[in-house]
Amino acid sequence: MHKTLEEIRKLPEGIIKAQKAFEDFTAKYDFKLPREILFTGCGSSHFLSQLLAMATTHLGGRGVALPCSEILYSRKYYPVGNPQLLVAISRSGETTEALRVLDETDLPKLGIAAYDSNLLAKSDYALLVDTPEESVVMTHSFPAFLFAFQQLLNYSFEMPLYDAERLSELSMEVLKNEEYIRGIVEEFDFRNVIFLGSGILYPVALEAALKMKEMAIFWSEAYPTFEVRHGFKSVADEGTLVVLLVDEPFDWHEKLTKEFKGQGARVLTVGKENTGADYFVKIPGPSIPESTALYLSVIQLLSYYKAVKRGFNPDSPRFLSKVVKW
């Protein structure tokens, strides 16, 4: 079995490990997050930084997320504001751009990594989440980092903590859809895929498109849900799978689903309720942002099985390395 599949399936234990990482962090540091935070990372870690920035803003803070290289070389074009903390995310903790941002930023620094690494050594506050991965592609650590930081946000902003045990159990329910998701890939040999998500689910859509590119070497796009009607949807036809990530659907979601089906595309809806889609995966339990981590396993499994069907080894995608160094 591919390491990637093993690691995707570790979501339930990842949530428990994330809770422990959060508890260890608050035991070690007398520290609460400030309101204005600048987040950064590369690749999947950049999309994760977008998620954390949105979760911060959702709680009344101000989260801004930029890829490391944009902070380094184009910062003046962005409304970074006056952050009181830099949060740098890197599964390996060794990505060159991430380390350079830490070296060149004089803000207090919080590092999130899966390994005792240079990133954590350069940080004032180290959030080490014990989710090492053998696969080049980031899967297991992504939702675990997300949950650990969400707990730190709840703790810092005096909000109720999420129930890690319950979310871990709910993630086992979501993973029971693995065979169903494999069946979609077997039944529908889609030529292209569009991921849609709004708000905190938009970076999940972006991460989904990246996973599909990395694992399946397959062209994929991601858009804020209703933006897709403004030109982008013209590519959708009988060879297209549209993956609609949604929490609580409303009439526009049903209309959009009907519109894509009218173009010959097939739709997979992932959320609390179906939208009249061809395929549906229910996300049980709480609404977003609490349940955001549960969506990751669905998009990771879809990309994994597309990769296998296309004859690729998702553990070591072509042209990619586990740690990007310059």
Applying CB under 6 A, what is the total number of residues that bind ligand F1P?
A: 17
Q: Taking CB positions, which residue lies at the least distance from ligand F1P?
A: 43
Rg (CA), the chain: 19
* Interaction mask 179-198, ligand F1P, x per CB under 6 A: --------------------
Under rule CB under 6 A, residue 44 binds ligand F1P: yes
Under rule CB under 6 A, residue 43 binds ligand F1P: yes
Would you give the end-to-end CA distance of the chain in angstroms?
32
**Interface with ligand F1P in residues 62-101 (CB under 6 A):** 90-92, 95, 98
Q: Name the 3-class secondary structure at 142.
A: helix
* CB closer to ligand F1P, 38 vs 184: 38
Structure tokens at 81: 């504001």
Under rule CB under 6 A, residue 137 binds ligand F1P: yes
**By the 8 A CB rule, do 57 and 12 touch?**
no
Q: Name the 3-class secondary structure at 289.
A: coil
Under rule CB under 6 A, residue 4 binds ligand F1P: no
Under rule CB under 6 A, residue 42 binds ligand F1P: yes
The residues, ordered by sequence, that sit 6+ positions from 218 with a Cβ below 8 Å of its Cβ are 192, 193, 212, 303, 306, 307, 310
Q: How far apart are CA 201 and CA 245, in angstroms?
A: 7
Under rule CB under 6 A, residue 45 binds ligand F1P: yes
Under rule CB under 6 A, residue 205 binds ligand F1P: no
Number of Cα atoms under 13 Å in the Cβ half of residue 136: 18
Which residues of this chain interact with ligand F1P, rule CB under 6 A? 42-45, 90-92, 95, 98, 136-138, 214, 320, 322-324
